[in-house]
Amino acid sequence: MKLAEISLRNWKGYRKASLQFPECSLPGHVVLVSGANGAGKTSLLEAIVLALYGRQGLDLVGRADQSLRPELSYDKFLERALNAAAQGRDARMAVELVFETAEGEVLSLERVWHFAASGKHRPADEEIHIRRGDELVPAALPVGLPGEEAWREVLGQELLPLNLAPFFIFDGENLARSSRSRLEDQLNSASEIILGAPELRGLAADLRTYARDRKKDLRDASEVSLQDAQDEIAHLELEESRLVAKADRTMHRLGPLRARRDALVKRIGALHGDSYSSFKTLFEEREIQIKMRSADQDELRKALSVDLALALSGKRLIASSRARLEAEALLAQWENGQENNRARFDAFIAYIGDDGGQPLDPTFEGRLEAAWQASWANAPEGAATETRHAHLGDADRLLVLKQLDAVSGLAGDQVSALARRVAELDREIEKIELRIATQRGLDGQAQALADELREAQEDLAKEESDHRIDTEALDAVRLRLSPLRHDIGLRTNHVQAMEPVKRRAALAEGYASALTLWVEEALPQHLDDLTVRVTDAHHAMAHKKLMRSIVVRGDGIELLGSDDRNLLTVDFSAGEGQVLSLSLMAAIAASFPCFPIVMDTPFARLDPEHRRNVLQHFSQIGVQVLLLAHPGEIDRALLDGLGDRFAGQIDVTHEMEATGVGLTRIGQFEARQHGS
Amino acid sequence: MRPLALLDSETSRRRLEQICRDRGLDPARVAELVAIVRSQKGKLRRRGLFEQFDELLSEPEKVEP
């Protein structure tokens, strides 16, 4: 990728200027921007950095070094950068970089800063536009979080990732102070970026998230939960069989008991002749009373064992539990509706976004999104704000509500009433027995028969009561079995339908694991490759051959001398240190020849031999090199020695206008005279 | 958009093929997965990403023995 043009508007001394590099047809061309001190060379480098990275780029600007000038924030730096002629009114400052890709495409980046009349930078209005040809890449996004994050991703993909920038954009002032150690620190992350490791790790993470998301659908249909349901059905079916058998046995006992009772009644009647009819009526009445008492006793027992505790907990608690569950049911209905509606909304956006192949304007999309969000902003009136009984599904919630309804009518006074009624029935039965005794007289045979009859009737009443309880239990078991059998059919179908989802989730996890292994294996190999490149670069540029090898490791570098001694502790001269930094830059640039190298005042500390070696080496890397240097820093003969690899030069000059405002002027691009 | 360096290198592509073969996966699908994620670059919400994964992973695997 080559830099073809830099346009500046109100940027420092550049009121409206454009630098064009028309002759850069070869990838390795060196272009010289020459100017005296204060002419505006460093301003050009700063324009490139801040156009690319905005606020995040400030760290790469030597004149804004936060360790030396902590007061110089991004906003302050920009306010000082605004051209003096544009101050005192609402103003805009802009930098546009135009690149030509290896495929011949034109890629441009423009960043625009806005200022109030007071000269204050308005950060919220900052704009950034990337175009491939005439097309925006992607459709315009606002600058400012979270859009800034998205822009950094796009810039990293289309131009130069921020972490690699120190290897390509060389600020002589910065490098003289702290850049070497920073370059060393960043070698490992640079290596990762060059390989695309963050991108592949991101893909692996996305695949794992996808797998987890799709597995959520499987949870309800899992074989484990299916097995649980089958186990419950088996248990209930066993209980059903037991109760059926018990009810059958009771029925078999009831027949003989009833026959025995009838026979006794007949025998007692025979003893009393004409009074048999009224005697039989008394016995039947007594039997009815015993049955009623038995039924009331059952009800009382049931109330005492199961529902009484709940009923006695108070009507208020029951009512509030009921209200809570109803509110949660409303919330669940609303959430389900929102989820279904979201899927339709996404499909709608995808549909209109795909129409005609044009990406949907994000501002418009953002508004649609906001409108959709607003339409679902509030849950319906009466809905709960959170689900406390998350373990209850819709069906369970209905069952609990039904049970609460049942017990809400039961109260302590009703239990007392039941007990009173049982006592009254006891007294009623006693009265009937007294009348029977009076009617039949007191002879011994009748007395014995009456006692036997009473015993028979009590046995019968007990068996009938047991039978009723068993029948009720059987009904309850069957009531539970019916929905379970229906549910298990649905679950079985669901499990079968989920098989492809399960397979996709497993594949996603497989690819995530393969990607992770692939990346982690590649990184050490790439560091070995960088070791060779850095060592070769240093051997080519340094005229003292002190180092046998410069080993790039995950946590920095090792400088191995001819005797394998680590030379990191050696105090190198400023020039030697700079050559070492330049070796790291050259190795990264050679490993990732995707962006021009921009060097500001690169040779000030280097002797003539180092200058020649550095220039020769960088011109052979295969990327465009933009040199920003003053006329005394670089000998024209050195540039001519590059032959075809030197494209030409542009001069920048600074002058004061009559108004006292400085102005930077840009000369014409002077192409190298071939053969000169 | 810049090609992915690891996919662009013959040596690392061969290693990926080996890793995928060992796991019964289709190495060609990795490039397609990368393309899907790249199509989402710069978007605030990565809408439709999982649906694209669904579509790709639903296709039969082409795995060489």
Reply yes or no: is the peptide bond before residue A602 cis, omega within 30 of 0.
no
Q: How many Å is the Cα radius of gyration of chain B?
A: 13
pLDDT value of position A116: 94
| Distance from the B56 Cα atom to the nearest Cα atom in chain A, whole angstroms | 9
Report d(CA A563, CA A174) in Å as an integer.
33
Residue of B2, B37, B58, B63 to mutate, interface with A, max A Cβ within 10 Å: B2
pLDDT value of position A357: 59
Of the two residues B62 and A89, the one the predictor is more confident about is: A89
Closest chain A CA to residue B23 = A510
| A277, pLDDT greater than 50 | yes
Report d(CA A105, CA A100) in Å as an integer.
6
Q: Is the minimum CB–CB distance between B37 and chain A shorter than 8 Å?
A: yes
Report d(CA A646, CA A436) in Å as an integer.
134
CB contact under 8 A, B47 and A349: yes
The crossing angle, in degrees rounded to 10, of helices B28-39 and A197-220 is 90
CB contact under 8 A, A210 and B53: yes
| A98, pLDDT greater than 60 | yes
pLDDT value of position A223: 61
- In chain A, the N- to C-terminal Cα span, in Å, equals 27
Report d(CA B51, CA B53) in Å as an integer.
5
CB contact under 8 A, A207 and B53: yes
CB contact under 8 A, A150 and B43: yes
Report d(CA A480, CA A74) in Å as an integer.
70
Closest chain A CA to residue B8 = A195
Q: Is the minimum CB–CB distance between B34 and chain A shorter than 8 Å?
A: yes
Average pLDDT estimate for A441-456? 75
In A, which residues are within 8 Å of B7 by CB distance? 196
- CB contacts < 8 A (A, B): 99
In B, which residues are within 8 Å of A109 by CB distance? none
In B, which residues are within 8 Å of A146 by CB distance? 44
Contacts of A229 (CB under 8 A, 6+ apart): A484, A487, A488, A491
Of the two residues A2 and A306, the one the predictor is more confident about is: A2
| Distance from the A202 Cα atom to the nearest Cα atom in chain B, whole angstroms | 9
Q: Is the minimum CB–CB distance between B32 and chain A shorter than 8 Å?
A: no
Nearest to B19 among A206, A503, A518 (CB): A518
| Conformation bin of residue A629: beta by default, left when phi > 0, alpha when psi is -120 to 50 | beta
| A10, pLDDT greater than 90 | yes
Contacts of A541 (CB under 8 A, 6+ apart): A579, A582, A583, A586, A610, A613, A614, A617
Closest chain B CA to residue A158 = B1
Q: A674 burial class (0-12, 13-18, 19+ CB within 10 angstroms)? A: exposed
pLDDT value of position A224: 61
**Annotated domain spans of chain B:** 5-58
Task: Give residue A339's identity as a one-letter amino acid code.
Answer: E
CB contact under 8 A, B25 and A519: no
Of the two residues A172 and A111, the one the predictor is more confident about is: A111
In B, which residues are within 8 Å of A500 by CB distance? 58
| Distance from the B64 Cα atom to the nearest Cα atom in chain A, whole angstroms | 16
Q: How many Å is the Cα radius of gyration of chain A?
A: 46
Element housing A523 (H / E): helix A499-541
pLDDT value of position A138: 61
Helix and strand numbers (H, E) in chain B are 4, 0
Task: List the single range of A44-58, A186-200, A297-311, A444-458 with lowest mean pLDDT.
Answer: A297-311
| A82, pLDDT greater than 70 | yes
Banded model confidence at residue A386, pLDDT cuts 50, 70, 90: confident
CB contact under 8 A, A514 and B23: yes
pTM attached to this predicted model = 0.61
CB contact under 8 A, A154 and B16: no
pLDDT tens per residue across span A489-525: 777 777 777 888 889 999 999 999 999 999 999 988 8
| Distance from the A58 Cα atom to the nearest Cα atom in chain B, whole angstroms | 22
Nearest to A500 among B12, B25, B58 (CB): B58
CB contact under 8 A, B44 and A594: no
CB contact under 8 A, A203 and B44: no
| Distance from the A200 Cα atom to the nearest Cα atom in chain B, whole angstroms | 8
Average pLDDT estimate for A58-84? 82
Average pLDDT estimate for A553-559? 81
Nearest to B5 among A138, A151, A196 (CB): A196
In this structure, are residues A80 and A121 in contact, taking their beta carbons and an 8 Å threshold? no
Q: Is the minimum CB–CB distance between B18 and chain A shorter than 8 Å?
A: no
Average pLDDT estimate for A221-239? 78
| Distance from the A569 Cα atom to the nearest Cα atom in chain B, whole angstroms | 35
> What mean pLDDT value characterizes chain A?
82
Report d(CA A170, CA A598) in Å as an integer.
6
pLDDT value of position A179: 54
Residue of A99, A152, A153, A199 to mutate, interface with B, max B Cβ within 10 Å: A199
| A377, pLDDT greater than 50 | yes
CB contact under 8 A, B25 and A507: yes
- Chain B contacts in chain A segment 120-139 (CB below 8 A): 137-138
pLDDT tens per residue across span B8-42: 888 889 999 999 999 999 999 999 999 998 887 76
Highest mean predicted confidence (pLDDT) among A169-173, A338-342, A610-614, A631-635? A610-614
Average pLDDT estimate for A117-123? 92
